Homo-oligomer: A and B are copies of this chain.
Amino acid sequence: MTTTLPVLSPEVEAVLAFDERGLVPAVAQQFDTGEVLMLAWMNRDSIAETLATGQVCYWSRSRQKLWRKGESSGQVQRLVELRVDCDGDMLLLKVDQTGVCCHTGRRSCLFRAWRDGKWVEIQRVLISPGTLYGHSE
């Protein structure tokens, strides 16, 4: 199957400062509660696809390919608004997260807090990873 990828508009790209790998860090935040969910990376193609489809797509550095968040787990992120910082080298994605964001089955990837000299887990697992990725029911 031949797929034509969306192209990033020059107006969006004009303010972006990609790093030497062609990437910018992107922070996903639940649009209504303000909870920070995760940080991942985006390249031109993933930003273009996200804006075109309204579903958040990152760039996987480990797999070197587009990473359509929730593609295997169903835990997608709908884009509510894209924001960019003063230097153009960081994106903020206001999203509506379906279910859980973290591959551990927690709502957010930021589930450990440094309290009283130790890391404390401050969120519980809502969906088991086995269920998330279809290894068990």
Contact = CB atoms under 8 A, between A and B. Distances in A.
Contacts of A34: 29, 33-35
The number of times this chain is found in the oligomer is 2
B15 A112 contact: yes
Bin the interface of chain A by size.
Answer: 35 or more
Nearest to A86: B109
B15 A119 contact: yes
Contact of A113 (B11, B38, B83): B83
A92 interface: yes
Contact of A92 (B36, B103, B117): B36
Nearest to A114: B82
Nearest to A108: B85
A104 interface: yes
Contacts of A76: none
A12 interface: yes
Contacts of A115: 81
Nearest to A87: B109
Contacts of A83: 110-114, 122
B36 A36 contact: yes
7 contacts: A12-B119, A27-B27, A27-B36, A34-B35, A85-B112, A86-B102, A86-B104
